[in-house]
Amino acid sequence: MKILVCITNVPDTTAKISFIDGDTKFNKTGVQYICGPYDDYALSRAVELKEQHGGTVTVLNVGEAESEQVIRKCLAIGADDAIRVNTEPTDSYFVAEQIAHIASQENYDLILMGRESIDFNSGVVHGLVGEMLGIPSLSPVMKLEIDGGVAKMTREIEGGKEDVEASLPLVLGCQEPIAEWKIPNMRGIMSARTKPLKVVEPVGSGLTITEKYALPAPKGAVKMIPAEEAEKLIDLLKNEAKVL
pLDDT digits (tens, 9 = 90+) for 45-81: 999 999 999 999 999 999 999 999 999 999 999 999 9
The pLDDT of residue 205 is above 80: no
How far, in Å, CA of 198 to CA of 83, rounded? 5
Cβ-based neighbour number of residue 200 at 10 Å: 15
Q: 203 versus 26: which is more confidently predicted? A: 203
The topology (CATH level 3) of 2-214 is Rossmann fold (3.40.50)
The pLDDT of residue 206 is above 80: no
How far, in Å, CA of 81 to CA of 241, rounded? 52
Residue 54 makes CB contacts below 8 A (sequence gap 6+) with 1
Report pLDDT for 84. 97
pTM of the model: 0.84
Instruction: Quote the longest CA-to-CA distance of the chain.
Output: 68
Strand, coil or helix: 209:
coil
Cβ-based neighbour number of residue 186 at 10 Å: 8
Alpha helices in the chain (DSSP H): 37-53, 68-77, 92-103, 125-133, 186-192, 230-239
The pLDDT of residue 102 is above 70: yes
What's the pLDDT tens digit per position in 76-92? 999 999 999 999 888 89
> Please, which residues bridge with residue 82 across strands?
59, 197
Q: What's the average model confidence in pLDDT over 195-212?
A: 84
How do the domains of the chain map onto residue ranges?
2-214
Report pLDDT for 208. 65
How far, in Å, CA of 234 to CA of 214, rounded? 31
Mean pLDDT, the chain, whole residue set: 91
Give 136's Cβ-side CA count (13 Å radius). Answer: 12
Q: What's the average model confidence in pLDDT over 174-179?
A: 94
Pairing assessment for the beta strands 25-26 and 19-20 based on DSSP bridges: antiparallel
